[in-house]
Amino acid sequence: MLAATFHKRLLVSPRAYETPGGSLMRVCDINQFMDARAHVDTETSVDPVRLRFLTENFASLQGLNQVVLGVVFLLQPMEEALHVYCKSWPIPWWLTSDILVAVCIAAFRWVPNYYQRRFGCVEQRSPSNRQVVIFLLALIVLFVFKHRIDLMISAIAQRFRFYRGSGLLLFWIAILCTDFLRRPRQVDKHRVYFLACVILACFVVVLYPLWNPHGPHVQLWQFVNSCAFGISLVVLGVFDHLTLVRLLPQPIPDSDNE
Amino acid sequence: MSDAQSLPSVNRVVHEPARLAILTVLSSCASADFVFLQRVTGLSKGNLSVQLTNLEQARLVVVVREIVDKKTRTTAKLSKYGAAEIERYWRTMDEIRASATRLDERHGTPRRRSLPLKVRLSSF
């Protein structure tokens, strides 16, 4: 009885007092803390690195978006391959590609909804002024010197006997290399090895004409070269999605409705 | 004043694990919805709801409830006071860790340091 009265008096007390550390703390805050302790799972541990990583990289960890994009990039080479290798394919190849395009458009709408429904949504902080300025400067430089850059790439391709069609793949390798440095390694340690394997595989495809000068004329190599970007997008997308699922704790079933 | 007394105190509203997890998530983004907070912290709906109410009453977060497609959508974001408090909390924790290390050194607590190779070999 006495304890209940004491507790009630503390709850309604608007008094504030100074803690030994100098911070101001209201008495009712302490009571809220004590009340809430009954609902808190005491085994809950806070892993700030995991929490920050998941929140900051939530958009890039939604790997199914990349998978759909990868399938879109795979469509054209697959269409060509069907046309060349499977002449006895029962459905006309143009119809096959149309069906696949329709499936991809449906998937582009479905995947974000799936992530929002299952994992919720996060609004990221807007980029800082410095980042915006750097991005705009890079864009201006690219636009002004695009002719020179094109000539330079052609010269390098001729010098090292690169196939010009590998330009997209080389650009993709550069993006993957920056991703290598950007992601923190404490949380997803395996990504480094995985990324290294994908980069190496892309390099093997790009550099193949170096030890086989007739490489660019081999139809299979052309097919692999145009497929590599799409395949690596699909593979990395699946990996990112699995990373997201692995890092999230199992949801606790609760009969309460929000 | 002894070393133990000179340790800085922490805000107990922030210090509780479930609330600290929520604040850590919110400090890394502009705002997050209820489903994301639930999935990332692993709390039950009821628990998360109670903790959000506590944080809202302590003026650490701002909770917005809106109706989207006939369903309640709850979004939380860190208030200015909350952002300052969580930053102060991590700073305080760093100070406590530094003070504990200093205490260890002063009281001569043995530190885990690997022995030189010669000593290790001679001991066998």
**Residue B8 parent element (H or E):** none
A16-18 vs B71-78, strand pairing mode: unpaired
pLDDT at A254: 62
Higher model confidence: residue B97 or residue A242? A242
pLDDT at A206: 80
pLDDT at A113: 92
Alpha-carbon distances of A7 from A21, A32, A36, A110, rounded to whole Å: 24, 11, 14, 52
What one-character DSSP code corresponds to residue B80? H
For residue B61, the cross-strand partners are B78
Put simply, whether A44 touches B (Cβ < 8 Å) is yes
pLDDT at A36 over 80: no
Higher model confidence: residue A126 or residue B20? B20
On the 0-12 / 13-18 / 19+ scale of CB atoms within 10 A, A128 is: exposed
Alpha-carbon distances of B122 from B66, B69, B110, B113, B118, rounded to whole Å: 72, 75, 21, 17, 6
Name the token pair of A58: 């939530």
Name which of B79, B91, B93 is nearest B22 in CA terms: B79
**Residue B54: its chain A contacts at CB < 8 A?**
32-33, 36
pLDDT at B83: 93
Q: Would you tell me the crossing angle of helices B34-41 and A48-56 to the nearest 10 degrees? A: 140
Best residue of A35, A41, A44 to probe chain B, by most B CBs closer than 10 Å: A44
Q: Contact B8/B91 with Cβ under 8 angstroms?
A: no
pLDDT at B98: 84
CB nearest A120 (choices: B12, B28, B35): B35
Q: Do B13 and A119 touch (CB under 8 A)?
A: no
pLDDT at A241: 93
Mean pLDDT of B18-22: 92
How does residue A45 score in pLDDT terms, banded at 50, 70 and 90? low
Mean pLDDT score of chain B, rounded to an integer? 81
pLDDT at A38 over 60: no
pLDDT in tens, B23-80: 999 999 999 999 999 999 988 899 999 999 999 999 999 999 998 888 889 999 999 9
ipTM above 0.85 for this complex: no
Give residue for tokens 């490489």: A215
pLDDT at A66 over 50: yes
pLDDT at A29 over 70: no
- Give CA–CA dist A89/B52, Å, rounded: 58
pLDDT at A238: 92
- Give CA–CA dist B18/A48, Å, rounded: 12
User: Among residues 98-157 of chain A, which lie with CB inside 8 Å of chain B?
Assistant: 116-126
pLDDT at A64: 93
pLDDT at A86 over 60: yes
pLDDT at A182 over 80: no
Cα A165 to the chain's mean position, in Å?
A: 26
- Give CA–CA dist A215/A204, Å, rounded: 12
Q: Of the ranges A25-29, A65-69, B111-115, which one carries the lowest mean pLDDT score?
A: A25-29
- Give CA–CA dist B62/A208, Å, rounded: 57
Alpha-carbon distances of A100 from A96, A113, A233, B71, rounded to whole Å: 6, 20, 17, 34
- Is pTM beyond 0.90 here? no
User: Which are the contacts of A238, defined by CB distance < 8 A and separation ≥ 6?
Assistant: A63, A67
User: Among residues 47-106 of chain B, which lie with CB inside 8 Å of chain A?
Assistant: 47, 49-51, 54, 57-58, 72, 74, 88, 92
* Residue type present at position A252: I
pLDDT in tens, A190-243: 777 888 888 888 888 887 777 776 766 777 777 787 788 889 899 989 999 998
Angle CA B50–A48–A131, to nearest 5 = 110
pLDDT at A24 over 60: no
* Residue type present at position A102: A
Cα A149 to the chain's mean position, in Å?
A: 29
Mean pLDDT of B4-13: 71
Higher model confidence: residue A26 or residue A50? A50
User: Which are the contacts of A95, defined by CB distance < 8 A and separation ≥ 6?
Assistant: none
Q: Of the ranges A23-27, A114-118, A234-238, which one carries the lowest mean pLDDT score?
A: A23-27
Q: Contact A142/A135 with Cβ under 8 angstroms?
A: no
Mean pLDDT score of chain A, rounded to an integer? 73
Specify which of A63-67, A101-105, A140-144 reaches the highest per-range mean pLDDT.
A63-67
Give residue for tokens 């499936």: A103
- Give CA–CA dist A180/A173, Å, rounded: 10
CB nearest A125 (choices: B18, B30, B58): B30
Distance from the B58 Cα atom to the nearest Cα atom in chain A, whole angstroms: 7
Cα separation of the two ends of chain B: 47
